[in-house]
């Protein structure tokens, strides 16, 4: 996804969603489906932001609390939460978010650079920000959303 964003003048379709009072979006090409929350089976020895695994039509999918991944407080998942099933490289991951807002079509030219702040979130995940109707929507890269292989044991 990173490469597409860097191309000037290209149109992108993005799915925007909300965690707490912050808004984010991801390239729609990464999104496979949107589902409601189902209770997940806990995974031992895993970081706190990995809430567990669920059954998605016969495949085992891990659920990542995206807010917690970004450094925000852990969510209290409920039926009102949403899971964005996303393709991250060769793997499929479920991202736990509060709600999905809408689908945006923007030009790569309208992506502004990431604000220069010392935030873990900014450095690892944010690729740029969009200003739409007075909203600030951070464009997220999912490449590192799962824990690195040698750090799976918390």
Select the span of 18-26, 48-56, 65-73, 117-125 touching another protein (CB under 8 A). 48-56
| Torsion, Cα of 91, 128, 18, 151 (10° steps) | 40
Q: Which own/partner pairs from 54-59 qualify as long-range (CB within 8 Å, at least 24 positions apart)? A: 54/83, 54/94, 56/85, 56/92, 56/94, 59/92
Least separation in angstroms between residue 127's CB and another protein is: 23
Residue with tokens 């209770």: 39
Rule CB under 8 A: say whether 41 interacts with another protein: yes
The residue range among 1-9, 58-66, 108-116, 130-138 that interacts with another protein, by the rule CB under 8 A, is 58-66
Q: How far is the CB of 18 from another protein (least distance, A)?
A: 25
Using CB under 8 A, which of 59, 79, 117, 118 touches another protein? 59
Closest approach, Cβ 62 to another protein, in A, equals 4
Any contact of residue 86 with another protein (CB under 8 A)? no
**Total residue count of the chain as it appears in this document:** 154
Minimum distance from residue 28 beta carbon to another protein (Å): 20
Which span (5-13, 25-33, 117-125, 146-154) binds another protein, by CB under 8 A? 146-154
Q: CB–CB of 61/94 below 8 Å?
A: yes
Name which of 136 and 152 has its Cβ closer to another protein.
152
End-to-end CA distance of the chain: 29
The DSSP code sequence of 55-82 is: EETTEEEEEEEHHHHTTSPPP---TT-E
Rule CB under 8 A: choose which of 54, 96, 121, 130 binds another protein. Answer: 54
């Amino acid at each position: 996804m990173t490469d597409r964003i860097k191309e000037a003048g290209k149109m992108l379709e993005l799915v925007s969603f909300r965690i707490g009072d912050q808004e984010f979006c991801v390239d729609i090409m990464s999104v496979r489906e949107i589902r409601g929350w189902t209770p997940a089976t806990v995974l031992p020895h895993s970081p706190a932001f990995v809430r567990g695994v669920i059954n998605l039509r016969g495949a085992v999918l891990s659920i990542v609390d995206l807010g917690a991944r970004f450094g925000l407080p852990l969510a209290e998942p409920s039926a009102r939460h949403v899971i964005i099933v996303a393709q991250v490289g060769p793997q499929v991951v479920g991202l736990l978010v509060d709600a999905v807002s809408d689908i945006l079509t923007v030009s790569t030219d309208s992506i502004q650079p990431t604000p220069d702040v010392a935030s873990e979130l900014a450095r690892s995940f944010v690729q740029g920000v969009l200003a739409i109707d007075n909203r600030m929507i951070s464009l997220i890269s999912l490449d590192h959303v799962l824990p690195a292989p040698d750090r799976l044991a918390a």
